[in-house]
Amino acid sequence: MKLSALADTGGDLIWAKCGACVRVLRAPGLAILLPRQSSSLSKLPSRSEGYLHLSSETVTLGGDAMDGVGFGCTTMSVGNFGRSSGLVGLGRWPLSLVSQLDVGAFSYFLIPYTDPTAKPSPLLFGSLATLTGAGVQSTPLLPSVTTFYSVNLQSISFGSATTACFGMVFDSGTTLTYLAEPAYTAAKDAVLQQAAALPRAANRHGFEACFQASAGGGGSGSFPAMVLHFDGGADMALPTANYMLEVGARRDGVSCWGVQRSPAAGTSIIGNIMQMNFHIRYDVDRSMLSFLPANCSIV
């Protein structure tokens, strides 16, 4: 059967909702894996009890079928996964799809969430995950005992102000970007200073730098440029829509700096909104992350 799943570079497990989920936010038309209807699924011996079972299955991506891919089958799922039936971990640990397929590299284009066509974002593996040409920039992946892909973010520029930073995790499965202290407060103060000419708006939904100005259309030029400076001289100049977000359903012209204080001490994350309209490549074999601006809506 055909399932959709969230691709998560911050996770290492592959799992799907299966059977009669007892706790699941289920979207209309959401596919659920039914083990009895699969001729290739086999339950693996493990200590799993209750709601999670380890299994192996023949998985088809595009036109390629791969036998014996290990994944978790759960009858209990909480959280909002939209129209996805599960999650595909792309992290560094052995159970991730990247490790099980031993592809060496993968890349993706993240289409803006505001794109009216609702096209899927391409995910490429192995020899298809190429990134070449003028403008490609690269930064080393830091050695890690975790599944995360961490890089050294040396500093952040907002307009003419630059603040120091430290290691950050690229995570396609996290929506917002989070900065740990003291980097968060320093960066937020720089935002408020550089955007002082804009009328302030009340903070909302956890965002602490909001302005009465639109992040789209003619108002986009009002916000100072934001650039991420990585180790190795790689500079990621962000489109305004990647860091100034129109927050709330009221459409009242309020835009907020799309970065929040990290709830986990010492952990900073670059989420998927900040990665929109970039082609991002993870070279797992050579421990290198590369990126290139791209109009992902026409890929």
Catalytic residue numbers read 8, 171
Max Cα distance, the chain (Å): 64
Report the distance separating Cα 46 and Cα 55, nearest Å. 9
Give the angle subtended at the CA of 23 by the CAs of 40 and 5, to the nearest 5°. 45
On whether the CB atoms of residues 110 and 296 are closer than 8 A, the answer is yes
CA distance 252 to 256: 12
Tell me how far apart the alpha carbons of residues 28 and 68 are, in angstroms, rounded to a whole number: 30
Angstrom distance (rounded) from CA 58 to CA 69: 6
What's the rounded Cα separation, in Å, for the pair 243 and 39?
46
Quote the CA–CA distance of 124 and 72 in Å, as a whole number.
Answer: 23
